[in-house]
Structures are given as C-alpha cells and as structure tokens.
Structure 1
Amino acid sequence: MYADVEIEIPFHDVDRMHVVWHGHYLKYFEIARCALLKKFAYNYMDMQASGYVWPVIESYVRYAQAIAFEDKIRVRAELKEWENRLKIAYTIYAAESGKRLTQGFTCQVAVDIASQSMCLQSPPVLLERLAAWPDFVADS
C-alpha cells in the first residue's frame, strides 16, 4: 500500500549551498502522501466532504544524505497504520541510482468537523475506502 512520485528539485527549494533546505522535505512527503490518498479515493477534499479533517500531529525526518538543485528524486509514501490514526512512512531515493537519501513518517488523526473533537478511532469512511482499494490487505 504505497505510492511513488518523482520530483526534480527546483532552485527555489535550495539554500546558498544549492542543497535542499531541511523544511522542504516535509513538502515532498506531502506530495507523496497526496498521491497515496488519491489511490484509495480519500484525498483531502474527500476527507472534508465525509465530515472529517486529518491534521498532522507528528512528523519525523531522518536526513541521511543531502539533496541538491536539479537532483531527481523518487518519494515513496507507504501506509503503515490506519485503525486509530494514519501513519505514513516515507523514503526518498535518488531517482536514477535508487540510493536511499532520507526517511521519515507523519501521523494524522481524524477530527470530526461538526464537533471539533478528535476521534480515538479512524472513522468508518476511511476503512470503507481502504477496503475498496484492490491493493489493500487488512493484515498489513
């Protein structure tokens, strides 16, 4: 249960040394996360339409090797947990060599829009969307 995206690093994402500024890695995670959510038809607009928002409550990035201007990267987002929260793991690879450059994860929880209360379990709509996805294996 994953999605991959390829990105070429633009100039506006790098610092004076032409290395990606550390905060942009979360943006790359977001791009891959959106591709993953789209795969099982529960992107951010679908979430909102179903009565929930899913704020990120935790993020972690482990920088193994610098990424530079014009590098081509592949970002993989992989769904790890879904019963009580969405935990998505990310790995950034060099697109050509496949060398791992960065790893991390984010956690999101459902918040009921009407009551503004955090859900202690993922709402049924998420489980329904996952069950309809052909690649979904509940035992993962």
Structure 2
Amino acid sequence: MTDDRDAAKNRLANSLDALDQTNSNRNALVCYDHAFRVSYYQTDGQRRVHHSHFINFFEDARVEMLRAAGILYKDFEDAGRMLVVSQMNLEYHAAADFDDWLRVRVELTEVRKVRMTHRYTVYRDEPEDREQTKIVTGQSVIACVDATGRPRKLPPQLLSALS
C-alpha cells in the first residue's frame, strides 16, 4: 500500500511539474470548456434537465479540466488527499432539454492553501442557438482534506503551478 501511495504522489508531482512548465496546460487549468449531449435519464417528466444534474455537470467539467492539465483525480486520492465540495451555489437562467448540446465553462478563480474556487457557466451549444443561451451559472469551493476529513494543504506543486 505504501508503494502505491508513493507512486501516486510521484505521478501527481510529475503532472503538476509538467503543468508548471507548460503554459498551454496552465491555461487549461484556468478556463476549460466541456461539451456533452443531454441524456434522457437526466430529464424530468417534461423532458427538461432536472435541476439536480447541473451539479454533476459542474463536477464532470472540473474533473475533465484537471485531466486536460495532466492531473488525475485518482492520484489525489491515492496520495491520501481528497478534493471535496465545501460550498456550492447555482442560479438557473433558462431550461435545457433532452438531446440538447450543452457546454460547461469552468474557470478557476481563486486558489488558497487548502481550497480552490471555481465559477461555472452552462450554455446551450447548438448551431442554431447563435446567442449561446446561458442556462445555469454557479460557483463552488473545493477543499483538500485527508482520509479523516481534516483540511490539508493543496500539494505545493499545484499551488506553484496555479500562482
């Protein structure tokens, strides 16, 4: 188990070092777009996206943003750290329907020693919607904790890569 944890820490450190040295990856961590099509199970009886799914859309975009920067969420967990939501706010602006193409823009807006703040905007991403209708906006605060739930500092390599 210790070897696995050490290997995960090394993978995380290497990913973060690469992020620090590659400006294009650094930009991906500041702002990232994640597009997808709405599935039927994500809708209610009126074929509208159920409000609860937008939190999942935010998380998917946040995890994909890290992956695009070469950072695997699994490596945080394997290194004994978890990134947990400590605060979430959403505001609904328009409805989204089954089979719509949506795009979540996630922006990293603040990094502190143990937490990061992200801003999200969900747009309808259909070719005929030239206005890019804003569907939902939101913000989350993500805290770094250990297996016992105690706050822990974000890895130093991540902090330096994001500063």
TM-score (norm 2): 0.72
Unaligned runs of at least 5 residues, structure 2: 1-29
Conserved 8 A contact 1:42-1:126: no
Residue 56 of structure 1: which of 75, 85, 101 is its match? Answer: 85
Aligned to 1:95: 125
Residue 22 of structure 1: which of 46, 51, 70 is its match? Answer: 51
Residue 106 in 1 paired to residue 135 in 2?
Answer: no
Mapped partners of 1:104, 1:48: distance in 2? 25
Mapped partners of 2:149, 2:71: distance in 1? 20
Greater gyration radius: 2
Conserved 8 A contact 1:61-1:105: yes
> Which aligned pairs between 1:60-139 and structure 2 lie closer than 5 A?
60-84=89-113, 85-96=115-126, 97=129, 98-113=132-147, 116-119=149-152, 121-128=153-160, 131=161, 138=163
Mapped partners of 1:18, 1:51: distance in 2? 41
Mapped partners of 2:94, 2:150: distance in 1? 39
Unaligned runs of at least 5 residues, structure 1: none
Q: What's the RMSD between the two structures over aligned residues?
A: 1.7
TM-score (norm 1): 0.83
Following superposition, the deviation at residue 116 of structure 1 comes to 4.2
Mapped partners of 2:155, 2:64: distance in 1? 21
Q: Percent identity?
A: 29
**Higher relative helix content:** 2
SS in 2 for 1:109: strand
Following superposition, the deviation at residue 123 of structure 1 comes to 3.3
Aligned pairs, how many? 129
